[in-house]
């Protein structure tokens, strides 16, 4: 059995302004740096066989805080990178609404049907993130791992592992620096913990203001 901790990166500078990031490589905000320290403290006494991260700095620096507390390195997994927002990247939420109103509405109602101009669909994310998950489970059949990645990737991984439709994307909330836990073994995957932020205390980010 493999135990897999899933961590969403701490708050980035663009999370706090409601701007679509996608593949744009933003930094952690001041709040995010503090959140990364708190999630690292949560895992400081928990043995982890390996720590994997998206290549983007907001995820890598969150993972690095956890790794340093453990005396470990971070292994970069390119297929854990955030969804490519394409033409939406760098735009504020109201700018996307003005330029791509009908597509944005479809994204909020039936997200599996949307492929952002010049970007990815949720199915694209599913194919690459599932491939990454398969590689990691094969490499660590009896280990406890930690993956630090992004909102869309985490929601798609959870939906697929639990047999949910990708149109259930918005039914799952992923806060910055949140922790979820799944088990993978001979039976169907099991979800043991979802979007836990108890380690953050008052340093929680309001995700409703973010461009996701």
**Domain CATH code at residue 133:** 3.40.50.1240
Give dist(CA 141, CA 31) in Å, integer. Answer: 36
Instruction: Convert the pLDDT of each residue in 45-62 to its tens digit.
Output: 999 999 999 999 999 999
Its pTM stands at 0.96
Give the pLDDT mean for 141-148: 97
- d(C-alpha 105, C-alpha 22), whole Å: 18
Instruction: Say whether pLDDT at 187 is over 90.
Output: no
Q: How many domains does the chain contain in total?
A: 1
- Mean pLDDT computed over 11-23: 94
Question: Looking at 31-172, which runs of residues are DSSP E strands?
Answer: 50-53, 75-76, 144-149
β-strand partners of 32? none
Nearest to 211 by CA among 58, 17, 7: 17
Active site residues: 9, 150
Expressed as residue numbers, the domain containing 157 is 2-209
């Amino acid at each position: 059995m493999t135990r897999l901790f899933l961590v969403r990166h701490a708050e980035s500078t663009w999370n706090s302004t409601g701007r679509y990031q996608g593949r744009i490589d933003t930094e952690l905000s001041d709040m995010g740096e503090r959140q990364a320290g708190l999630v690292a403290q949560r895992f400081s006494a928990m043995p982890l066989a390996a720590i994997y991260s998206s290549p983007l700095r907001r995820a890598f620096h969150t993972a690095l805080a956890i790794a340093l507390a453990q005396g470990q390195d971070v292994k970069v997994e390119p297929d854990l990178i955030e969804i490519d927002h394409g033409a939406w990247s760098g735009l504020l939420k109201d700018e996307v609404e003005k330029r791509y109103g009908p597509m944005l509405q479809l994204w909020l109602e039936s997200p599996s049907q949307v492929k952002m101009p010049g970007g990815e669909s949720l199915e694209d994310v599913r194919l690459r993130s599932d491939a990454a998950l398969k590689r990691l489970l094969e490499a660590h059949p009896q280990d406890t791992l930690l993956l630090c990645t992004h909102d869309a990737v985490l929601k798609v991984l959870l939906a697929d592992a639990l047999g949910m439709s990708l149109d259930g994307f918005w039914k799952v909330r992923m806060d910055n620096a949140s922790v979820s836990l799944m088990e993978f073994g001979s039976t169907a995957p099991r979800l043991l913990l979802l979007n836990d932020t108890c380690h953050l205390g008052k340093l929680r980010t309001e995700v409703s203001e973010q461009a996701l």
